Amino acid sequence: MDDGSTPKLRRIERRIEEQLCELAAMGELSNVPGGAPLVDGDPDAGDRWAARHVAMNANLTLEFVELRREIADRRDRLVRRLRAHREWLADRAAMLNDLPGEQILDAARATTDFDARVQSEMRSAVGELNALVARHNLKVPLGLQIPPPSLEMLRGAPSPEQHAWF
């Protein structure tokens, strides 16, 4: 306000301050969302409120939240890749049944080689995912930790739209 405020305005401000102090003394303002803490016994309460307020206004996200998103994205990609590979294997098996006898052996060998390569890539990707999970789990309390996935678990995982651990 201006220093040249009118006496009436000063009276209104004073009355509002008195009402706020009365409400704070009764504990009526303790759960006001976004409000500054009114705790006199905690010298850091105002600093914590300010830090939270600045972070929210700057759209900052905590590192573990970003890690959790990255883990979910990678997990979803792995599940999709595993499903696509399983469908490819089923299609390939159907194709092998229709091939002439002289081509079956070469086609089956090519299928086995490709499957081994994909399985190796998937094991490597699961290892990278588990490294992210371990990093995440170091930063959060026990209740927010994520179990490290295995390749077998991802093979039987629900679709990315309905996965259960997030």
DSSP 41: S
Name the H helices within the chain.
7-26, 45-57, 63-98, 101-139, 151-155
Map out the domains of the chain as residue ranges. Answer: 7-57, 63-162
User: Residue 154 corresponds to which tokens in the numbers above?
Assistant: 């991802």
Model confidence over 111-131: pLDDT tens digits? Answer: 999 999 999 999 999 999 999
**Which pLDDT belongs to residue 77?**
94
CA distances from 115 to 16, 90, 102, 148 (A): 74, 12, 21, 24
Model confidence over 64-114: pLDDT tens digits? Answer: 888 899 999 999 999 999 999 999 999 999 998 888 888 888 999 999 999
Reply yes or no on whether the pLDDT at 164 is more than 60: no
Using the Cα atoms of residue 9, residue 33, residue 141 and residue 68 in order, give the sign of their dihedral: negative
